[in-house]
Amino acid sequence: MIELPITDHKLKITPPQKHFVLPSPSISPTAAAAAQFTLDDLLASIPALPMQTAALGRTTDDSPLLFDLNDPHPGALLIVADRFSGKTQLLKTIAHSLMRRNRPYEVSFQVVSTHPEQWKNEGALHADYFSTITANYQRAGADAILSACDLVESRQHGRNRGSALLFFLDGIDTLPYMDFDVRLNFEWLIQEGPAVQVWPVVSADSEIAIQNPRWVNLFRTRLAGFMHDKRTAKDLALINQLDFSAFERGRKFAVRIGRSWLQFYTPESPFE
């Protein structure tokens, strides 16, 4: 299994455990990982998945890529790619993999989205996990940011430990136009939240992200998907050696590990 953090230059990658099914000699690891698979398939390959740990996908060597909510070292996560390139799909992979193995008192979610209708099934079927699903252009979105900051401050003083909270900002297009105090609080949330299990996980269209370097530069950990423009990809992903225009749109991402990188595939949708 491979786990975040991904920015630690001393990162040690744990090799696949013996119970993992490795590809047959006639199939390359890359081809095996690229094959379609479901979230159930992914989770079945990790029977000992720890609590409060999300599964993001399979790497090109067919190992699961995990995200441990108890390890604050990665910091807040930024998912960046062109439009219609799987960013919301990756957010949902994180959410659904956690819901399969954790109860609402162990993990919960708030969603502030450019398109909240894309989250209507989660709101209807998993309301006990999702305390907020709202639009980023409504006041409720700003209120959700301030509420998450209040939770961080409370936990810093030893109160309200509760569940791990993932704060999904699914689209940053309105963020530069929010009130100054909201923007200042969100910047603080990015910096302070992970240490007390309040995790900002942000998605951004590449054309919007490249126009907002101040926000992008707050994220040490970036998961980058398909991007047609190579210069944009280089600036946003911090990876020079990969051609993101050749990525399978909507399924393939890459994440930096120290001075190297890791490519991975996400499960197919839909989620139930």
Torsions phi, psi for 114 (to 5 deg): -65, -30
SS3 string, the chain, reads CEECCCCCCCCCCCCCCCCCCCCCCCCCHHHHHHCCCCHHHHHHCCCCCCCCEEEEEEECCCCEEEEECCCCCCCCEEEEECCCCCHHHHHHHHHHHHHHHCCCCCEEEEEEECCHHHHHHHHHHCCCCEEEEEECCCHHHHHHHHHHHHHHHHHHCCCCCCCEEEEEEECCCCHHHCCHHHHHHHHHHHHHHHHHCEEEEEEEEHHHHCCCHHHHCCCCEEEECCCCCHHHHHHHHCCCCCCHHHCCCCCEEEEEECCEEEEEECCCCCCC
Tens place of pLDDT for every residue, the chain, 272 residues?
Answer: 667 654 332 333 333 332 323 233 334 566 666 789 999 999 999 999 999 999 999 999 999 999 999 999 999 999 999 999 999 999 999 999 999 999 999 999 999 999 999 999 999 999 999 999 999 999 999 999 999 999 999 999 998 888 999 999 999 999 999 999 999 999 999 999 999 999 999 999 999 999 999 999 999 999 999 999 999 999 999 888 899 999 999 999 999 877 778 999 999 975 65
Please identify which residue in the block is written with the tokens 């020079």. Answer: 240
CA dihedral 28, 9, 191, 131 (to 10 degrees): 30
What 239-248 contacts at long range (C-beta under 8 Å, 24+ apart), as own/partner pairs, is 244/81, 248/34
pLDDT at 211: 96
Confidence at residue 22, expressed as pLDDT on a 0 to 100 scale = 29
Residue 270's pLDDT is what?
59
Write down the pLDDT at residue 148. 98
pLDDT for residue 30: 67
* Distance linking the first and last C-alpha atoms of the chain: 25
Structure tokens at 218: 């707050």
Neighbours of 176 (CB within 10 A): 12
- pLDDT in the model for residue 260: 79
Residue 27 pLDDT: 43
In this prediction, residue 269 carries a pLDDT of: 78
Task: Report the amino acid identity of residue 66.
Answer: L
pLDDT given for residue 5 in this prediction:
55
